[in-house]
Structure 1
Amino acid sequence: MDNPVIIFGANEMGKAALEIFESNGVVVYGFLDDDAAKHGQELSGVSVLGKTDDDGFLKLIGKKCEGFIAVDDRELRKGLVKLMVERRKKMPVNAIHRNAEIATSAHIGHGNFVNNGVVVGSNAKIGNHCLLNTNSTVDFSATLGDLVQVGAGSVIGNEVEIGDNVFIGSGVTIVSGIKIGKGARIGAGSVVIAEVKANATVFGNPAKEV
Structure 2
Amino acid sequence: MEKPVIIFGAKGIAHPALEIFNSNNVIVYGLLDEDEKIHGTEINTVTVLGNPEDDGFLKLIGQKTVAFVAEENPKYRKFLVELLNERRKVQPVNAIHERSYISTDASIGHGNFINANVNVGAGAQVGSHCIIHSAAIIEHKAKVGDFVQIGAGAVINSDVVVEEGAFIGSGATIVAGVTIGKNARIGAGSVVISTVGANETVFGNPAAKVK
Normalization by structure 1: what TM-score? 0.99
Aligned equivalent of 1:114: 114
Answer yes or no: is the 8 Å Cα contact 2:161–2:179 preserved in 1.
yes
SS in structure 1 at match of 2:117: coil
State the alpha-carbon separation in 2 of the partners of residues 198 and 96 from structure 1. 28
The structure 1 segments of at least 4 consecutive aligned residues displaced by more than 3 Å after TM superposition are none
State the alpha-carbon separation in 2 of the partners of residues 42 and 90 from structure 1. 26
Aligned equivalent of 2:89: 89
Aligned equivalent of 1:66: 66
State the alpha-carbon separation in 2 of the partners of residues 162 and 10 from structure 1. 28
SS in structure 1 at match of 2:84: helix
| Residues 155-170 of structure 1 mapped to structure 2, 5 A cutoff | 155-170=155-170
State the alpha-carbon separation in 2 of the partners of residues 42 and 162 from structure 1. 36
Alpha-carbon distance, 1:37 to partner: 1.2
The residue identity in structure 2 corresponding to 1:11 is K
Alpha-carbon distance, 1:48 to partner: 0.7
Answer yes or no: is the 8 Å Cα contact 2:163–2:181 preserved in 1.
yes
State the alpha-carbon separation in 1 of the partners of residues 157 and 131 from structure 2. 17
Alpha-carbon distance, 1:55 to partner: 1.1
State the alpha-carbon separation in 1 of the partners of residues 10 and 184 from structure 2. 28
The residue identity in structure 2 corresponding to 1:56 is G
- RMSD (CA atoms): 0.6
The residue identity in structure 1 corresponding to 2:167 is F
The number of residue pairs the alignment matches comes to 210
Alpha-carbon distance, 1:12 to partner: 3.2
Normalization by structure 2: what TM-score? 0.98
| Residues 112-151 of structure 1 mapped to structure 2, 5 A cutoff | 112-151=112-151
Answer yes or no: is the 8 Å Cα contact 2:12–2:71 preserved in 1.
no
2:152 paired with 1:152: yes
Structure 1 unaligned blocks of 5 or more: none
2:195 paired with 1:195: yes
